[in-house]
Amino acid sequence: MRYSSTGEDVVQKMKLADMLSYADISHLNNIASYYDCDCKRNSKHELIQSILIKAGRKEFLKEQWKSFSPGDLRFLNNLVFDTRSSYSLEDLLAAVRHTSLEEKSDETPGSKPARTALESPREAVSRYRRSGWLFNGFTSSTKYMFHVPEDLKERFREELSLHLKSGLQVSMPPEVYREEQGLITEDLKLMLRYFQEHELTLNAEGFMYRKQQQQLLSTLHIEESLITKGPWRFGYGRSCSEYPDRFALLYDYAVAQRWVQETPAGLTLTEHGKECILSGNQVSMIQLFRFWLKIYKSAVPNLPSLVYWLGRCAKEWVTMDSLHATVGSLVTPFYYDTPRMILERRIVKMLLHLGMLRLGESQTLGTVIRMTPLGIKAGEIAPQLGHGTVHNDNDVII
């Protein structure tokens, strides 16, 4: 989303102190009441100073953390990694609905009540306003939009990083581990050559027959099993319902690049596809990674931030169980997929296929993973790639 208003640009750069100075006195009073500030409630200057003193304390976020529910952490994590500078009420309501789960509040005496399933999305947005996380704009074009103070975003990221890393279980390097770096781009070229050399017909639904799939998969470096009967597959690309996950990503990417064309007569390689094979140029890893982020975001909207946190948390060997307990807490279910399934199958396994992590087995700790140098670099840029703020792949090196 692009904005032309100069007022929007100003709001985007504002810190908490700036936003407080533009807030009306009723909003300031709500924030002061939320944090039990001791000040004159009819003095805007005293209200601002009192709130800033509270919020400026080193323990401010640590104390708030005690009252955050898992849904709060998911919502705020989404917010601080979203590159948009403002949000409509509808944007926020949708984000709250997505990050909410049936939760039980484990409040302690004296703590602020955590959000539960009984709190409506509108009530949640109102609570985030009262706690100083959301502010309305101050110009005619921004007053109905909501903004987040930039310094609170940064502080939240720092605190969440400490929170996630504190729960990790580090492992010794496994004796044997699996790594697929470089294989996915090689298999993409092999797939295109197969399409060039074979006549492939499509079934009534527009997909390859299972025998054709089996023959093609057997020619690739990483051979996957065919899809078996089970829950309805959707949400992870146009062909995920009929093709295995890794192959579906390659196939969808080839179609999106116009290298492959589906016709009533069957599957054919386009002139663009033939040029790709003849050129001998390496397939762009950054474009394939960006494409994966794009098509999986329909099911996992906060995927870029999850990849970012994996890059931060798995710089050394860590257990899958501890990653599920930490980073996995930021994942919401998607129909038949539980948070653990999404983390292990939709994220970790696909990052393995993209050559961005190593997967091993420890005799005592079970499954362990470690990001590759490529994966660590990709994690750093995933939020920018996922939200479309990087427009030239030549400016990105991973």
Question: Tens of pLDDT along the chain (398 residues)?
Answer: 333 344 444 555 789 999 999 999 999 999 999 999 998 999 999 999 999 999 999 889 888 888 899 999 999 999 999 888 899 999 999 999 988 864 433 333 334 444 445 789 999 999 999 999 999 988 888 888 999 999 999 999 999 999 999 999 999 999 999 999 999 999 999 999 999 999 999 999 999 999 999 999 999 999 999 998 887 889 999 999 999 999 999 999 999 999 999 998 899 999 999 999 988 777 889 999 999 999 999 999 999 999 999 999 999 999 999 999 999 999 999 998 999 999 999 999 999 999 999 999 999 999 999 999 999 999 999 999 987 766 566 555 55
Tokens coding 201:
């017909």
Domain boundaries, the chain: 6-166, 183-285, 300-395
Task: Note whether 115 and 132 are within 8 A (CB).
Answer: no
Residue type, position 234, single letter: F
Q: Rounded CA gap, 258 and 269, in Å?
A: 9
Task: Note whether 172 and 318 are within 8 A (CB).
Answer: no
DSSP 208: B
300-395 CATH fold: Arc Repressor Mutant, subunit A (1.10.10)
Amino acid 121: pLDDT = 94
Q: Rounded CA gap, 181 and 45, in Å?
A: 57
Tally of residues, the chain: 398
Q: What is the pLDDT of residues 138-170, one digit of tens each?
A: 888 888 899 999 999 999 999 999 999 999 999
Q: Rounded CA gap, 27 and 24, in Å?
A: 6
Contacts of 65 by beta carbon, 8 Å cutoff, 6+ apart: 159, 163
Q: Rounded CA gap, 327 and 166, in Å?
A: 11
- Phi/psi region, residue 86 (left: phi>0; alpha: psi -120 to 50; beta: rest), is beta
DSSP conformation letters of 61-122: HHHHHTT--HHHHHHHHHHHH---S-B-HHHHHHHHHHH---------TTSPPPP-TTS-HH
